[in-house]
Amino acid sequence: MNKLESQSASEIVIFGALGDLSRRKLLPALYQLEACNLINEQSRVVGVARQEHTLDEFKAIVLENIRNFVKEVIDEDVLARLTARLVYQQLDMKDATAYKNLAVSLSGANDTRIYYFSTPPAIYGDICDGLNHASLINDADRVVMEKPIGHCLESSKVINDQVARFFNENQIYRIDHYLGKETVLNLLVLRFANSLFTTNWDRNSIDHIQITVAESVGIEGRWGFYDEAGQMRDMIQNHLLQILSLLAMEPPADLSAESIRAEKLKAVKALCPIDRTNVKEKTVRGQYADGFLNGVEVPGYLNEEGAVKGSKTETFVAIKAELDNWRWSGVPFYLRTGKRMPAKHSEIVVHFKDQPHNIFKDSFSDLPANKLTIRLQPDEGVELKMMNKIPGIATQMNIQENKLDLSFNDTYQDQRVIDAYERLMLEVLNGNQSLFVSRDEVEAAWTWADSIIDAWQATNEAPKPYAAGSWGPVSSISLIARDDRQWVE
Ligand code: BG6
């Protein structure tokens, strides 16, 4: 049975349909799924927003956004099929009594309803109340929740509880868009479809792992929102921990949501706590100052539009994370992420252990260890650095470090680059939760992150400044240099 045959007709209800996420990501993703014939013919897309619009006006907005945000040449037939599915419903999402109007728009009584919450999390509870008030919740319905799910463990519990009053855990799809990225998904294949890595993926073979998620952008007009969060809540608690959990988890028995989520949860729970006793030694927080990016002068965080002077919010974090389990004992995972770094560049570097003995001393005194680099974005690919003999008739054996490079652009030239939201939207339509974060995992991630944030607050130190366009504060270099290692630049 192909995916589409297994997919029941659904009403895809997007709350916040005119918001930024919907316009940039969700509507273009639906267009792409439509183009691939991956949406059931009977399914409809119901846009819900505060503003008054006629259906024709809504269709015009959708068309405009798809033309703006889909990179490929638009296929007018596909667009026509998608717009034929559209319905618009104006709604005050905080007013439970107004949801009876939505009920009128949702006519397909036997359809699965997919409620996509693309609104601030503060109103997820109101939306659930409204849906319940209008008897719009059935056991087969699904709800999709965007991050941030809370600001800390307690607030995440409040949001999860509000939704859990009406939806069971198997109906809830918590998005972390990194899980929809092709290269992140490929971690499963790399680890569990290649015996070379399956058998060498532990403390016996691996010295340490680096995960870098660098962005060149700054705060992009959302200073107030970002200042409440900071890089720890915005990136580490979710995206970097998701990458870490896929790298660190035990092999799942199969690809089912139950198996994958259970193993990821165990990995997050195995993270050694970082608290007031060891935070200085294990973490570095930074904040970008004025600097240059590609030769252009850019303002520091405190000089951005809307900035409040004196903010101690971090825009950079480096952490030495460790897992307390059999596989990873003694193997640090160095995490590093920041805004206004020299380039948008995300990669994982797995450093294997040194050879125990060097028989090539005459030509190479210090044999470098093998390194596996997984380039997440851009220039997606996998690269393995290894030693090789330089061909030639010299008496001594000349060797050098070379790389095997699997560039996805070169290897899969005919393949379109798929956006994470296309994958995630498809999985929701097909009712597969494996690429979504369970409540237990969100809570385990908050527990670990909260302890670090608490320790930072207790020290009350300002984050270390770094020039915009640099790789972060100098102390992030010391964090890893103390262990006689260095970041791969
Ligand atoms: C979001 C963060 O979740 O991820 C943003 O809130 C960040 O601050 C973005 O810029 C990065 O996503 P991507 O896909 O561009 O790496």
Task: Give per-residue pLDDT as tens, 174-205.
Answer: 999 999 999 999 999 999 999 999 999 999 99
Q: Which pLDDT tens digit goes with each residue over 156-178?
A: 999 999 999 999 999 999 999 99
Residues 226 and 118 in one domain: no
What is the tens place of the pLDDT at every residue in 9-18? 899 999 999 9
- Please give the average per-residue pLDDT across 294-302, as a whole number: 94
Counts for the chain of helices (H) and strands (E), in that order: 17, 17
- The CA 352 to ligand 1 mean position distance, Å, reads 29
Per-residue pLDDT for 94 more than 60?
A: yes
Q: Which amino acid is at 391?
A: P
- pLDDT bin (cut points 50, 70, 90) of residue 1 is very low
Mean pLDDT across 259-268: 98
Nearest CA to ligand 1 atom 5: 234
Tell me the HSE value of 67 on the side-chain side, using a 13 A CA sphere: 9
In a domain, 45, yes or no: yes
b/e string for 402-441 if b means 16 or more Cβ within 10 A? eeeeeebeeeeeeeeebbbbbbbbbbbbebbbbbbbbbeb
What gap in Å lies between CA 96 and CA 106, rounded to an integer?
16
Residue 99 lies in domain: 10-146
CA 146: distance to chain centroid? Answer: 11
Where do the H-state alpha helices sit in 14-123? 20-21, 27-35, 55-69, 76-84, 99-105
Q: Which of 130, 146, 162 is the last residue of a domain?
A: 146
Query: In 270-382, which residue ranges form alpha helices assigned H by DSSP?
Result: 279-282
Nearest CA to ligand 1 atom 8: 234
Percentage above 70 pLDDT, the chain: 98
The domain that holds 78 is classified in CATH as: 3.40.50.720
Please answer whether residues 26 and 425 qualify as being in contact, where contact means their C-beta atoms are separated by less than 8 angstroms: yes
Domain assignment present for 174: no
Residue 207 near residue 331, CB atoms below 8 Å = yes
Which of 208, 239, 345, 351 is catalytic? The answer is 239
Task: Kindly give the number of the ligand 1 atom that is closest to the alpha carbon of 181.
Answer: 14
Please give the order of strands across the beta sheet that includes 112-117.
86-90, 44-49, 10-15, 112-117, 142-145, 172-174
Residues 335 and 454 in one domain: yes
In a domain, 161, yes or no: no
DSSP state of 149: -
How do residues 215-251 score in pLDDT, each as one tens digit? 999 988 889 889 999 999 999 999 999 999 999 999 9
| Number of Cβ atoms within 10 Å of the Cβ of 378 | 12
CA 1 to ligand 1 center in whole angstroms: 35
Same domain, 184 and 142: no
pLDDT band at 300 (very low <50, low <70, confident <90, very high): very high
pLDDT tens digits, 131-154: 999 999 999 999 999 988 999 999
Ligand 1 atom closest to residue 234's alpha carbon, by position in its atom list: 6
Residue 387 lies in a domain: yes
Residues 226, 121 share a domain: no
Q: Are residues 124 and 217 in the same domain?
A: no
**CA–CA–CA angle 374, 375, 379 (5° rounding):** 150
- Same domain? For 142 and 187 the reply is no
Whole-angstrom CA distances from 178 to 298, 398, 437 are: 28, 42, 11
Average pLDDT over residues 111-128: 94
> Of 146, 170, 204, which marks where a domain is finished?
146
Greater model confidence, 415 or 134: 134
- Whether residues 240 and 96 fall in one domain: no
- 109 has a pLDDT exceeding 80: no
| Residue to substitute in 178, 181, 215 for testing ligand 1 pocket (most ligand atoms within 8 angstroms of CB) | 215
Same domain, 62 and 198: no
Do residues 53 and 123 share a domain?
Answer: yes
Q: Residue 111: what pLDDT?
A: 80
Active site residue 351: no
Q: Which of 239, 242, 375 to mutate to test the pocket of ligand 1 (most atoms within 8 A of CB)?
A: 239
CATH number, residue 464: 3.30.360.10
Number of domains in the chain: 2
Residues contacting residue 173 through CB under 8 Å, at least 6 positions apart? 142, 143, 144, 145, 424, 427, 428, 433, 436
Q: Residue 20: helix, strand or coil by DSSP?
A: helix
**pLDDT digit string (tens) for 66-76?**
999 999 899 99
Read off the tokens for 465: 């400044």
Residue nearest to atom 10 of ligand 1 (CA): 215
Ligand 1 binding pocket (C-beta < 6 A) is 215, 234
Amino acid occupying residue 410: D
Who contacts 279 (Cβ-Cβ below 8 Å, separation ≥6)?
A: 452, 455, 456, 459
Site of tokens 């007018």: 76
- Measured in whole angstroms, the distance separating CA 208 from the mean position of its chain's CA atoms is 22
103 and 186 assigned to the same domain: no
Beta bridge partner(s), residue 213 = 337, 346
Q: Is residue 427 part of a domain?
A: no
pLDDT of residue 9: 81
pLDDT of 2 > 60? The answer is no
Degrees, nearest 5: CA angle 317-236-311: 50
Q: Residue 63: pLDDT above 70?
A: yes
Task: Give the Å distance between the CA of 41 and the centre of ligand 1.
Answer: 33
DSSP type of residue 16: T
Q: What is the mean pLDDT of residues 361-386?
A: 92
Residue 464 parent element (H or E): strand 464-467
Region 463-485: mean pLDDT is: 96
Same domain, 329 and 459: yes
User: How far is residue 365 from each of residues 195, 310, 357, 398, 485, measured CA to CA in Å?
Assistant: 31, 50, 11, 11, 18
In a domain, 356, yes or no: yes
Q: Is residue 188 part of a domain?
A: yes
Q: Are residues 193 and 131 in the same domain?
A: no
Report how far residue 377's alpha carbon sits from residue 196's, in angstroms, rounded to the nearest whole number.
24
- Determine the distance separating the centroid of ligand 1 and the alpha carbon of 213, expressed in angstroms: 10
In a domain, 186, yes or no: yes
> For 445-473, how does the pLDDT look when each residue is reduced to its tens digit (9 = 90+)?
999 999 999 999 999 899 999 999 999 99
Choose the final residue of a domain: 146, 162, 195.
146
* Amino acid code (one letter) for 320: K
pLDDT in tens, 97-106: 999 999 998 8
Burial class (CB in 10 A: 0-12, 13-18, 19+), 103: middle
Ligand 1: distance of its center to the CA of 215 in Å?
8
